[in-house]
Amino acid sequence: MKIAVCYKLVPDEQDIVINGDHTISFDKAEWKIGQYDLVAVEAAMRLAEVAGGTVSALSAGGKQLENSKLKKNILSRGPVDAYMIIDETMSDADSYQTAYVLAKAIEKIKDVDLVVCGEGSSDMYAQQVGSQIGELLQWPSVNAIGTITLADGKLIAERMLETEVEVLEIPIPAVISVTSDIFQARIANLKDILEAGKKPVVRWDLDDIGGVPEMSTNVLSVLAPPQADRRRVIIGGDSGDQINEFYEHLRKEL
């Protein structure tokens, strides 16, 4: 089975700086692989290890994708190779544009049986790209997959909905989005990291895959959320008197 696992590079939200006018800045931010995407890579690897097959990593984005540390990072987690569509347009792409470009790349890679996506991107977390890739390829797609096995050429998967679990039979080729807790992402060892440097990386421009549609949304603003005014009465210790003081405040609200 040939599996493509999608990932996105995102700025580390810990490095976000809030400017005086409430706008935010990523100028000092480190870039990282989305945390849910690392889980998706693990799910793809586990399935390939059990069911047989290979995993390719796939991403579309801006110049950060060229970062050799991040290239090694993704490949040290098991994929045999990586495909990257690099264009500055893609660093602000909306979910439809992203899904469109990834779907075109999957067609170009050829013979992909399964596309695995994470629960959502760590930055926008719209949780849409997997569902949209499926529709663009006209393949069945499902989200919220919590377990997955291969039997008789079909995927048997459990889908974790809010109050119920569905056991599904998914014909391949297909696109699945996995839950954030399907597996814990592995930690690569030194050997994996060294080998990752030798694995092939295929780089495509937007022209190679036939361009990208226009954005379907306009971003009007991205601002730090307004902080609610709080009283901030903080009692500095937990002696009997201090707990009593805390209790008196609480009692008035009960």
Partner 1 sequence: MSRVKDVWVFTEKQESIAELCAGARQLGERVTVLAVGSRDRIERIIAFGADRVFYLGDTGADRTVEDYAFTLSKLIEEEAPDLFLFGATKRCRHMAGRLAARQRTSVLSDIMEFLTDKDEIQGTQMVYGGAAVRTLASKSATVFSVVGSGVFTSLPEDADREGDVRAVDFVEPAYRVRCMEKRERGGTSVDLTAAKRVIAVGRGIAKEEDLKMIEELARLIGAEIGCTRPISEGVNWMGRERYIGVSGVMFKPELYIAIGISGQIQHMVGCNQSGVIFAINTDTAAKIFSQSDYGIVGDLYTVVPVLLEKIRAAR
What residues numbered 193-222 form the site for partner 1, per CB under 8 A?
213-222
Q: Which of 151, 187, 190, 250 binds partner 1 (CB under 8 A)?
A: 250
Nearer to partner 1, 189 or 244 (CB): 244
Q: Are strands 9-11 and 31-33 parallel, antiparallel or unpaired?
A: antiparallel
AA identity, residue 164? E
Nearer to partner 1, 82 or 90 (CB): 90
Q: Which positions from 140 to 179 touch partner 1 by CB under 8 A, shown as an x/- string?
A: xxxxx-----------x--xxxxxxxxxxxxx--x-----
- Subset of 55-94 contacting partner 1 (CB under 8 A): 94
- Subset of 83-142 contacting partner 1 (CB under 8 A): 94-97, 99, 119-120, 122-132, 134-136, 138-142
- Subset of 5-24 contacting partner 1 (CB under 8 A): 11, 13, 16, 24
Check if the beta carbon of residue 7 is closer than 8 Å to that of residue 59: yes
Q: How distant, in Å, are the alpha carbons of 39, 88, 120, 127, 130 from that of 144?
A: 13, 30, 10, 10, 10
- Closest by alpha carbon to 195, among 76, 56, 82, 79? 76
CA distance 180 to 184: 9
37 part of the interface to partner 1, by CB under 8 A: no
